[in-house]
Amino acid sequence: MNSYKCCFKLVLAMKISIKEKSFIARIASKILHEKSVAVVIGKTIHLWNADKKNLLKNKKWLRHELVHIQQFRQHGLIKFLLLYAWESLKNGYYNNKFEVAARAKENDETPAINIQLK
Ligand SMILES: [Zn+2]
């Protein structure tokens, strides 16, 4: 797990962007039947019916999305999208191993969040 911790630290210190009223997140909200949604693609957190200010205030939620940014970084954009889709088909959204990993890190306060917004 040391390498995971190492890479997670790097991601927390990297530049990310947050996009409100995102078309991608809007599509995801329809598919997931959720009113508000956050979707990570690469280094961008796409939001639908949620705002940047609330995301930045909610450290648990922010940490969850940062884990997904780390997963994109670890696997690469296309490969991660395919792995994520495969996991969702196999195990469903909740039991998707990438979601399980993100939820597991939500309350982990080490390392501290140190993001730079683009
Ligand atoms: Zn997630």
Question: How far, in Å, from the CA of 84 to the mean position of ligand 1?
Answer: 10
Which residues keep their CB under 5 angstroms from ion ligand 1? 99, 102
What pLDDT, on a 0 to 100 scale, did the predictor assign at position 28?
93
Please list, in sequence order, all residues whose beta carbon lies within 8 angstroms of the beta carbon of residue 13, skipping any fewer than 6 positions away: 114, 115, 116
What pLDDT, on a 0 to 100 scale, did the predictor assign at position 14?
73
- Supply the pTM of this predicted model: 0.86
What pLDDT, on a 0 to 100 scale, did the predictor assign at position 1?
41
Q: What is the mean pLDDT of each run of 10 residues along the chain (118 residues)?
A: 49 82 96 94 97 94 94 96 96 95 90 81
Question: How far, in Å, from the CA of 25 to the mean position of ligand 1?
Answer: 12
Question: How far, in Å, from the CA of 74 to the mean position of ligand 1?
Answer: 16
Q: Is the dihedral of CA 70, 44, 59, 87 positive or negative?
A: negative
What pLDDT, on a 0 to 100 scale, did the predictor assign at position 2?
41
